[in-house]
Amino acid sequence: MKIPKVLAAGLLVLAATACGSSAADGGSGTLRIGVIGSGVGNKLTRTVGFLDERGELLPELKSAGIGKIQVATFQNGPDLNQALAGGSLDIGLYGDTPALVGHGRGLPTRLVSLNSIRLDAAVVAKKNAGPASLKDLEGKRIGVQTGSYIHRYLLGALEEAGVKPKQIIHMYTPAIIAALEKNSIDAGGLISADQVAEEQKGYRSIDVASRDHPDLLGTSVTVVTEKYLAGHKDIVKVWQRAESKGARVAKANWPAYTAFVARTGGYAPEVSIKTTLKEQLPEEPFPAEGLRLLEGTKTFLVGQDLIKKDFPVGSWLAPGAKTAAGTAP
């Protein structure tokens, strides 16, 4: 099932934008980081955010000449891509789909790590007399954040089911939830935390990636701009080391970490406890399972013509990136 052009537009980063002028950097020794979030704005998330909250991140980054971090929060990956392209960010932490599409469209980034794996998503249906399975979405309206790993999962699941919906509408999560309430869409694609929160209100999950399509689980990546990398050769090994430490510290302090996830994500504590899993946090930069999921996502995006020219994942790795096979040149 090819993605209609109107949907593809939400995924694209134009080469002209990627070559645009760069904004002034955040100052000497300042690392400018973009993250995805809808809870607490401009706060570092995931395990590195937890490390930062404990006062342990900047000491890890000091050897790369970093004395300060500046965080910007974005609602979705394509928006973060635009900030990377415009030169206002040095590093981005976001979903694999927009990162792959951005690089495949000429965005000058290099892959530092897979900071999270096995990211779940679900198709949630309206309450009353709504669809009971993906098959029931034939000719129906579905809301999803286009350009996200949730979007890639949704498209892949619909394709496997042989279903052609009437319309896939670009919506942020709050709009999806509001549209489900008003019965103006038949279903919505949500991350697992939002899925659980909506199930508590009586909505039904008619498809779940981890249960029904484990090959469509998402990953979150860390990328660095080539411009920043050119002047900061040590950033790759230093950041990889910080992420690995963050994963270990999070697992050793699990109740505190899930509470941190709840605060930064804006979720009830019980939701974060249920949907934040230790196995999602790799202690190495490129776990084999994560690379397999990333490769599958790339193949799908190439097949959808969202990546015009295929590229080996290995060619995207940042120089000096530590992998199971050694160190990237």
18 pLDDT above the threshold of 50: no
- Same domain for 130 and 181, yes or no, is yes
Q: Among 65-74, 94-103, 127-136, 288-297, which is the least confidently predicted range?
A: 127-136
Instruction: Assess whether 232 and 276 both reside in one domain.
Output: yes
Domain boundary at 152, 184, 216, which? 216
Tell me the pLDDT band of 15, cut-offs 50, 70 and 90.
very low
Do 226 and 211 have their domain in common? no
28, 15: one domain = yes
| Residues 133 and 187 reside in one and the same domain | yes
pLDDT in the model for residue 128: 75
What's the mean pLDDT in 65-80?
94
Residue 132 maps to which CATH number? 3.40.190.10
* pLDDT bracket for residue 163 (50, 70, 90): very high
Residue 22 — pLDDT band, cuts 50, 70, 90? Answer: very low
- Please state, for a pLDDT cut of 90, what percent of the chain lies above it: 78
Q: Do 21 and 73 belong together in one domain?
A: yes
82 and 147 inside one domain:
no
Averaged confidence pLDDT in the chain: 89
Res 175: pLDDT: 95
User: For the residues 7-31, what does the mean pLDDT come to?
Assistant: 48
Say whether both 295 and 168 belong to one domain. no
Q: Looking at residues 225-240, what average pLDDT do you find?
A: 96
Averaged pLDDT, 145-170: 95
Domain-terminating residue out of 216, 248, 281: 216
Statement: residue 21 has pLDDT above 60 = no
Average of per-residue pLDDT across 229-242: 95
Give yes or no: residues 101 and 238 share one domain. Answer: yes
Mean pLDDT of 87-94: 97
User: CA 275 to CA 223: how far, in whole Å?
Assistant: 25
Same domain, 196 and 236: no
Of 173, 193, 216, the residue that ends a domain is 216
Average pLDDT over every residue of 298-307: 91
Neighbouring residues of 242: CB distance < 8 A, sequence distance ≥ 6: 48, 51, 57, 60, 61
| 229 CB-contact burial (10 Å; exposed 0-12 / middle 13-18 / buried 19+) | buried
If pLDDT is split at 50, 70 and 90, which confidence band does 329 have?
low
Q: Which two tokens stand for residue 267?
A: 């979720």
Residue type at position 151: H
- Are residue 195 and residue 261 in the same domain, yes or no? no
Task: Please give the pLDDT value at position 32.
Answer: 98
- What is the extent of the structural domain holding 129? 121-216
Q: How confident is the model at residue 321 (pLDDT cuts 50, 70, 90)?
A: confident
Q: Are residues 36 and 174 in the same domain?
A: no
Q: Which of 15-29, 31-45, 191-205 has the highest mean pLDDT?
A: 191-205
Note the pLDDT tens digit of each residue in 236-273.
999 999 999 999 999 999 999 999 999 998 899 999 99
Per the structure, the count of domains in the chain is 2
Q: What is the phi-psi region of residue 67: left when phi exceeds 0, alpha when psi lies from -120 to 50, beta otherwise?
A: alpha
* Tokens found for residue 285: 């930069």
Mean pLDDT lowest among 11-15, 19-23, 73-77, 98-102: 19-23
pLDDT band at 324 (very low <50, low <70, confident <90, very high): low
